Amino acid sequence: MSDVEETHTEPPQAHVTVVYLGPVAPHWDLRSDFGDQRVVEEFRGRMHARLMLLPPHDPQFRRNRERVVRDAERENILLSWDPPELAESHLAQHR
């Protein structure tokens, strides 16, 4: 027996981009390149609940962004951010 975790190599269910719309609410939109529309719409609902009224400079944004990232990982969804700088603190933690 080993302590090595099995990695699942299933293809992603979808690819989505969280897009910052600007300083006036709603601040965020979700765009999908591919994937099951039901999965994307369910993810969109959760993403909107966490981010819709939070601009990137809001202290709560970082915590909620991490929740969105974990949600995407759990659902096997490829996640990107526009502009890409919004994901930088998450990437720095995983290096």
Q: What is the pLDDT of residues 13-41, one digit of tens each?
A: 999 999 999 999 899 999 999 999 999 99
* Residue 50 pLDDT greater than 80, yes or no: yes
In a domain, 5, yes or no: no
In a domain, 32, yes or no: yes
Decide: 28 and 18 in contact? Cβ < 8 Å: yes
Structural domain boundaries enclosing 74: 14-93
Number of domains composing the chain: 1
Q: What is the pLDDT of residues 52-75, one digit of tens each?
A: 999 999 999 999 999 999 999 999
Residue found by looking up tokens 């096997």 in the block: 76
Average pLDDT over residues 76-82: 97
In a domain, 27, yes or no: yes
CA distances from 31 to 26, 28, 62, 70 (A): 15, 10, 20, 18
In a domain, 23, yes or no: yes
The pLDDT score that the predictor gives to residue 48 is: 96
